[in-house]
Amino acid sequence: MSANRIAERINELIRLKKGKPIPAHVNFFYCFGGLSLFLIILQLLTGAFMLFFYTPEPGKALESIAHLSNEVALVWLFRNLHRWSSTLLLATVLTHMFVVFYLKAYQSPRQFTWLSGVFQLLMVFGLVISGIILPWDWRSYWSFAIWADYLGTWAGGATIQGILLDNFTLNLAYYVHILVIPLILGISLIFHFRMVRRYGISEPL
């Protein structure tokens, strides 16, 4: 059997077992979900690398970031990838949600796909906010103060605000950023992909 025939046979098996035809109406605007997943993976890889250099203590956090940015080879690249891809991630998730809403893909039978996507948007917001806090410089302090103040404007938000202010530590923000939110987001993504796999991609109306 020739090499070409073997390759064709392998491709046929892959298509039979794992492949799923791409609908003809899919275009560039359907790619923002995949772009968001790519950026989440990039965030995970770059963030995991920086874990070895960051110290989640008020007196050492900014100093440790300055050290990894200026003195450790190539870590400045990972930090900038992490920082800028977080902004791009927020933009791609928002765009993905807008496209889904515009196509009315939140309607039956894709309600749970939509709700899990909305939940993931909130988790991405949580990652961005908690990530801004970690350097614990003037920008971090005022970002935390503004968001805490904003929580107080919600119905019942004063209680949440009080709990947050009474229990806040930089160490807590660190573990929320690197462990709690990523774990919840990962579970939500698995559920989201199962729903997409089950109900498919909505067509334009």
Looking at per-residue pLDDT, the higher value among 4 and 165 belongs to 165
Cβ contact 97:119 at 8 Å? no
Binned at pLDDT 50, 70 and 90, residue 93 comes out as very high
pTM: 0.85
The DSSP code sequence of 125-186 is HHHHHHHHHTT-SHHHHHHHHHHHHHHTTSTTHHHHHHHHHHH--HHHHHHIIIIIHHHHHH
Q: Average pLDDT in the 106-135 region? A: 95
CB neighbour class for 155 (10 Å; exposed up to 12, middle 13-18, buried from 19): exposed
Output the pLDDT for position 50. Answer: 92
Provide the mean pLDDT of the chain. Answer: 89
**pLDDT band of 21, cuts 50, 70, 90:** low
pLDDT of 130: 96
In this predicted model, which residue has the larger pLDDT, 205 or 33? 33
pLDDT of res. 20: 60
The mean per-residue pLDDT over the stretch 127-139 comes to 95
Distance CA 164, CA 144 (A): 10
**How much helix, strand and coil, in percent to the nearest 5, is found in the chain?**
75, 0, 25
Domain residue spans in the chain? 3-199
CATH number of 3-199: 1.20.810.10
